[in-house]
Each structure stands twice: as structure tokens, then as C-alpha cells.
Amino acid sequence: MTVKLSNPSYVPTTRFLCKAKASRRQKLNAHSLQREFEEDDEYENEDEDEEGDGFSAWGRYRGREEEKDFDRDPEFAEILGTCLDDPEKARSKMKERLKKKRNKILQTKAGSAVPMKVTFNKFNFSNSYIWFEFYNTPLDKDVALICDTIRSWHIIGRLGGCNSMNMQLSQSPMDKRPSYDAIQGANVTPTAFYNIGDLEIQENLARIWVDIGTSESLLLDVLINALTQISSDIVGIKQLMFGGSEFENWKENLTSEDAGYSVHKI
């Protein structure tokens, strides 16, 4: 014979506590729901009363905000006013507005996955232009980076830092301890970057005049490597051309900043 013992008061007590908690939870939910309904009714009554008078709190705030925006930017209000009567005129004004204020507009700028194209067009080391074609009109921060890069390139070249005749370390075997012959380095014919102009920009095109002096191809390699990295990571450069007196849609007589022309000191 098997005898089973159980606690007769345990199960009923547990059931009672569960039922009590569930009942309390239902009462709290019902009370909260009723309170929300009452608050919604009060808000609706207030809105109806204020709209009946023609002045609601939200309407007054919204009206002041819209009026303030138009007072702050009458040019935009004028563009909207002429949009229906003369769409072409409104489109032209909007284009001019974007040109003037493009630096204040948030844009997602990134480099290009397409490699920068490099071409040569009768390049003369002593008197030639270097042409840039960007995918988009560069922002101020992009122009500043390009100028800093060209300025650094010119300083290193002017100090003779890019002399391919003295490449002792890069041409030495990698499995041996590096050594440098100071006498050999001092006797190499020096190379110097003679002169450079300012960076000119028209929309997405740019150019700079250079007088490198000596036919030192290493200088060009250094610049191309730096601009390749900039194009890949920061601002996309579609094409880089060495030499040539003309390029794409460049206009020699365009000197107005309103038309997209600017000069940056190197």
C-alpha cells in the first residue's frame, strides 16, 4: 500500500495569491485606461473651444513660426511666389540660390570607388597647367585639403625631397641592414621645384600652373599618389591631366565668383 502526503493549504494559498494579483492588475489597467479617455476628452473640448474662437494654442504657435521663417528668408518666399506663374524663373533662382549657399547645405561627401584617370597632353616641366576634374563641385573643406596637398608637394619639391637620383634606401635590398652614404647623397645633382601658381576653380574643374624646372618624374608620382588617395577616401576626382592649354568646359574669361569661379593661394 502506498501513502502520499501533501500540504493541503499550499495549493489553495498559491491560487488565491495569483487570483488576487491578477484582479489588482486588471483594476489598475482599467483605471489607467479610463483616465486616458478623460484626459483626451478634456483636450478635445479645449481644442474645440479655441478653434471656435478662431485662435488655438497650436495654431498661434504654428502661425508665428511660419511667419518668422518667411521674414527670415524673403528670397525663398519670392521663389515660392513665382513657382506657379513662371516655373522657369523659379527654377533659375533656385539654382542660383544653391550655388551661393551650397556650403551651408548638409551633403554626404565621400570618395569615389572608380580610380582617378591620369592623362598627359604635351606636358612641359617648365611651363604647364595641371587640370583637375571633380565628380561634383568641391566644398570649402575639400578645396582646403587639395590646397594643403599641393602646398606640401611644392615645399618638398622645392627642398629637393623628390630626387630620383638619390634613392639609396628604397633601392637597397630589404634583407640587409639599411645604410646611407652621405657623400654620395651630397654629390647628386640637386633638383628643385622652381615656381607654382594659385589654384583656380570653375564649378567642378580646377587648374594650377607649375614650373618644375627639371624633368623629375618622381615629383609627378608623389602628387599622383596623394591625389589618388584623396579621390578614393575623401572627394572624388574624375580626371587628372598634365599639360594642355584647354580642358573640357573651362572658360578663360570667367572671373566672377557668382558664376562659380574662385582663386586659392598656394
Q: What is the pLDDT of residues 112-148, one digit of tens each?
A: 889 999 999 999 999 999 999 999 999 999 999 999 9
Map out the domains of the chain as residue ranges.
Answer: 117-166+181-264
| pLDDT, mean over the chain | 78
Q: Of 262 and 75, which is predicted with more confidence?
A: 262
97-123 burial, b at 16+ Cβ within 10 Å, e below that, comes to: eeeeeeeeeeeeeebbeeebeeeeeeb
* Residue 43 scores a pLDDT above 70: no
Query: What is the pLDDT, as a whole number, of residue 55?
Result: 45
Residue 37, C-alpha cell as written in the block: 479617455
* Residue 198 scores a pLDDT above 90: yes
Q: Report the distance separating Cα 16 and Cα 177, nearest Å.
A: 86
Confidence of residue 258 (pLDDT cuts 50, 70, 90): confident
Q: Report the distance separating Cα 185 and Cα 10, nearest Å.
A: 97
Question: Which CATH number applies to 117-166+181-264: 1.25.40, 1.20.1640, 3.30.70, 1.10.101?
Answer: 3.30.70
Residue 8, C-alpha cell as written in the block: 493541503
Q: Report the distance separating Cα 247 and Cα 1, nearest Å.
A: 108
Confidence of residue 201 (pLDDT cuts 50, 70, 90): very high
Query: What is the pLDDT, as a whole number, of residue 27?
Result: 55
Biggest CA pair distance of the chain:
116
Q: Report the distance separating Cα 62 and Cα 51, nearest Å.
A: 14
Confidence of residue 57 (pLDDT cuts 50, 70, 90): very low
Confidence of residue 50 (pLDDT cuts 50, 70, 90): very low
* Residue 14 scores a pLDDT above 50: no
**What is the value of pTM for the model shown?**
0.59
% of the chain at pLDDT higher than 70: 68
* Residue 243 scores a pLDDT above 60: yes
The answer to whether the CB of 123 falls within 8 A of the CB of 220 is no
89 CB-near residues (< 8 Å, 6+ apart): 82
Query: What is the pLDDT, as a whole number, of residue 104?
Result: 59
The answer to whether the CB of 228 falls within 8 A of the CB of 171 is no
Helices marked H in the chain — which ranges? 10-53, 57-72, 74-81, 87-100, 140-158, 182-187, 217-233
